[in-house]
Amino acid sequence: MNTCLSGIWTNSFGSKMSLIVDGTQIIGTYSSHTGSTGEYRLIGHCSKLSPSEQLGQSIAISIYWKNIHDGVKDESWHWSGTMCGQLQLDGTMTLTNAIVVSVAFEHYQKGNYIDELVFSKNGQLSQPEMDAIHQHFTLKEPTLPSYPLVGKWQNNTLTLDINQPHPISGYTQAHLITPGIELTLSGFIDVDAHKNMAQSLSLSGYNPITEETISMSGMLDYSSHHLTLYSWSAQPTSPEDSFMQTQMRALQFEKSG
């Protein structure tokens, strides 16, 4: 277990992120009191090495903004998002936060919203807290309906093959095939999107060759066979070069199967 990254993290908004790290895999929950209030599943990846004086530790996280617990449902429960950045040796975790607003809610219009969040560690998780997080990812597999995002998407250089999500948690896996390597991604699909509604998606993974963590997020408009995803890549950098820690690019895909 990565003792640096595992634990409870908070930011200036009062949001709390509880992380369990196993190798390069991250699972956890995110609790927020900004906008809608709730607790949300997250899954992600990190580079293998803990932060050092020379290099930070890269991180990419996918979040599904559907409240784990019972509550008053609103349109923000359809949103997904990513956080991508790194942890430095001084304990500062700086993440680029991208929220996919697939459905308009209150004064938030449909689109992608970007912010920077800075977290600091605020303690370790107790065994009951870790057990509760694992329980959120231990779900029975009921009959799977069909979702428009599921299947194979391609462009000139990449193939993204998205698996069926869990119909309650939205958890899914995908395979990203590049010219040099095939990566396994994990994340979430909005499983509650209905007819005529855009469906949000968030995926994250780790490239062991470059030590970059990557995340991909976006939305599929209803009945469309074209998908635009924003890909965020975080690499370990020195503290002096941390302003270049995250790179973003837009990717266009077409449904092929």
The pLDDT tens digits of the residues spanning 30-45 come to 998 766 678 999 999 9
Confidence grade of residue 237 (pLDDT, cut at 50, 70, 90): confident
Per residue, the 3-state secondary structure of 119-176, as one string, reads EEECCCCCHHHHHHHHHHCCCCCCCCCCCCCCEEEECCCCEEEECCCCCCCCEEEEEE
119, 95 contact by CB (below 8 A):
yes
The pLDDT tens digits of the residues spanning 72-83 come to 889 999 999 999
Residue 1, pLDDT above cutoff 50 = no
Residue 246, pLDDT above cutoff 60 = yes
The pLDDT tens digits of the residues spanning 62-103 come to 999 999 987 788 999 999 999 999 999 999 999 999 999 999
SS3 label, residue 127: helix
Give kind and range of the element (H or E) at residue 99. strand 93-101
The pLDDT tens digits of the residues spanning 96-152 come to 999 999 999 989 999 999 999 999 999 999 999 999 999 998 876 665 677 899 999
Rg from Cα positions in the chain: 17
